[in-house]
Structure formats: C-alpha cells, structure tokens
C-alpha cells in the first residue's frame, strides 16, 4: 500500500483527492492536514463523503510515516512550504499548484502523462499540470508533435466554478454565476506559460502565438476547449495522426464525433476531436477540471511514480445523465 499525506485537504481538490484515495485499491491516507479544520471530521467539510470515512483533519504532518505527499495549496504556497519544512528524501511530492510547472532551478517533473510518461515514472518530485493547460494541450499535442499546424493558435475555453477554488468570491457565488457567462484574463491566463513551454518542447522554434480567451461557465465542473490553427493536411491524415498519438493513452480518447462535456465530467477522461474547415484545423477537447485537470491526473501520476497500474482507483463513470 502507498501511504499518503495530504496538505491543504479542506479545499475542492483536497476533497476530490480524498474521495479517490479512499477507493484506491493500493493507497492508504495516513493524514489529511488542515490547520483551520484540525480535529473536525473530514465528512463535516466534504459532505459527499458521509458514510465513507471516519478520518479527521489534523494539524500534524508526520512525513516519516508516508511514501508520498500531495500539496493541495493555493498557488505560491507550495514553494514557501517546502522552504520551511524538511521533507524526507525518500518521500515523493506531488504539487497541484503552479509553483514548479515551469522548468527552472528545481527537480520537479512536469506531469502530463501524454508527453512525459517515462520521466514521471522515474521522478521523485512532480508538478501536476493546470486544468486549462491540460485540456488545451491535449487538444493540440498530436498536431504540434507532427508539425502540421502553423501560425497563431486561437483558443477558447470555458470552465466550471470549481476551477476558482472553494473560497467564495464576487464571480463564484451562485447568484452571480447562475444563468451567466463572462470572459476573464483574456490573452494573459497564467496557464499560458506552461502551454507555451510544451509548444516549444514538441515543436522547437514554433513562431505562432497561443491566443487564449478563458470564460467562466454556468456550471460547477468541467472544461470545454475549442482551438483552431492553419493546417494543410487533409482531415483523414489529421485523424490518423491523432488516433496514432492517443492509441496507447490510458485516459485520453480520440473520437470521430464531436463530443460534449458530460462525457467526461466525474471521470479522469479527456475526449479529443478534430475537424477541418478549408485550411483551418479545429481541435476540440473536454475534461473534468477537478479530475483530469487536477487530482485525477495527480493520482494517475502517483500510480506511474510507484509502478502501479496507471488506471488504479480511477475507473469512474461519467455524469452523462
């Protein structure tokens, strides 16, 4: 059994991670840390876990009793936390924030299994990709790898309210979000940095821009992305490239029919589709932002890091109806 510690366990990602690990056949939660909820039953905060666990949140962090820790902090806190706390060298770290996603003066591996699987299997410290970054990259990876698109890549993505975290804000509370849609961080979203890093890794010297318009959707969870760029290949050639690229992917599925988001909500799946309009290649992808876009992918990465079956604990049914 892989013994797990969770830091920042009271938020949306912490709750989803606990839900997955409670049902993982080869994982055991040793501690779920939350200073603000220390001593409280986990199912008092994550009410969907009523009847599934008797665990309590704790302020303790017994790193010597675990094999891996998940950092479910807000962005910017993970790096500071690791500076202030000594983690045993044998304990693996999976960070769900953006602190270590960009290559630099650290040993964290970028954890997108569809591009970095072998590196993930060998790493000690892993930076889990962002939710929008995951969905957008999965739409484009085969085209970038094959070098079949050129020029600016235009991206539109819409996300559920859980992507903004559990702490309520002006654009997340129900009365504002319900029956509403809005644009934010146009062309400046923080996930563009890791997306552009992958673009240059797969297609060095690519001189087009990724022009991304994120939107807030009137739903709780899920991301739906549409992207397009110039492509001179036929649709049949592109479909073969995508089918080949994702043939052995554990959770990313290339389909021949335009998808909808309910096919992936509540699962670790990504569904990808392409279409051609004259010289423009349309790329569509959708994921659950809390699962494939966050903790589902993190558990997938944990499985790879510990040599477990990649799908262990992640056989989830979509909320299709």
- Which residues form the catalytic set? 131
Greatest extent of the chain over all pairs of C-alpha atoms, in Å: 61
**Phi and psi (nearest 5°) for 219?**
-160, 165
4 burial via Cβ count (<10 Å: 0-12, 13-18, 19+):
buried
Residues in the chain: 321
User: How far apart are the C-alpha atoms of 231 and 211, rounded to whole Å?
Assistant: 17
The DSSP letter of residue 100 is: T
Within 10 angstroms of residue 61's Cβ, the number of other Cβ atoms is 17
> What does the angle CA 15 – CA 17 – CA 23 come to, to the nearest 5 degrees?
110
Q: Are 15 and 49 a contacting pair, CB within 8 Å?
A: yes
Nearest to 214 by CA among 185, 234, 240, 254: 185
* Cα dihedral value 247, 253, 254, 259, nearest 10: 170
Looking up tokens 């997306």 gives 195
Nearest to 206 by CA among 155, 147, 141: 147
Helices and strands in the chain, H and E counts: 9, 13
62-86 exposure pattern, b = at least 16 Cβ within 10 A, e = fewer? ebeebbbbbbbbeeebbbebbeeee
> What does the angle CA 67 – CA 69 – CA 70 come to, to the nearest 5 degrees?
145
User: How far apart are the C-alpha atoms of 99 and 124, rounded to whole Å?
Assistant: 16
């Amino acid at each position: 059994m892989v013994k797990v510690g969770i830091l920042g366990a009271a938020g949306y990602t912490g709750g989803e991670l606990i839900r997955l690990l409670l049902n993982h056949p080869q994982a055991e939660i040793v501690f779920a840390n939350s200073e603000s909820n220390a001593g409280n039953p986990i199912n008092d905060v994550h009410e969907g876990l009523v009847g599934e666990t008797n665990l309590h949140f704790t302020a303790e962090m017994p790193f010597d009793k675990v094999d891996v820790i998940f950092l479910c902090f807000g962005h910017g806190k993970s790096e500071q936390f690791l500076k202030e706390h000594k983690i045993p060298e044998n304990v693996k770290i999976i960070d769900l924030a953006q602190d270590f996603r960009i290559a630099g003066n650290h040993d964290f591996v970028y954890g997108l299994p569809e591009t970095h699987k072998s590196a993930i299997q060998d790493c000690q410290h892993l930076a889990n990709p962002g939710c929008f970054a995951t969905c957008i990259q999965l739409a484009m990876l085969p085209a970038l790898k094959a070098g079949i698109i050129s020029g600016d890549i235009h991206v539109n993505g819409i996300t559920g309210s859980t992507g903004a975290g559990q702490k309520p804000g002006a654009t997340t509370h129900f009365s504002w979000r319900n029956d509403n849609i809005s644009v934010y961080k146009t062309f400046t979203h923080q996930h563009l940095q890791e997306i552009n890093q992958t673009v240059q890794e797969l297609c060095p010297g690519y001189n087009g821009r990724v022009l991304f318009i994120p939107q807030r959707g009137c739903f709780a969870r899920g991301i739906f992305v549409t992207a397009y760029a110039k492509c001179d290949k036929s649709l049949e050639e592109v479909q073969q490239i995508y089918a080949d690229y994702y043939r052995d992917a554990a959770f990313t599925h290339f389909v021949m029919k335009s998808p909808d988001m309910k096919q992936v909500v509540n699962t670790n799946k990504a569904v990808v589709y392409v279409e051609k309009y004259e010289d423009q290649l349309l790329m569509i992808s959708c994921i659950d932002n809390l699962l494939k876009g966050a903790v589902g992918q993190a558990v997938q990465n944990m499985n790879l890091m510990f040599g477990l079956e990649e799908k262990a604990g992640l056989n989830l049914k979509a909320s299709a109806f």
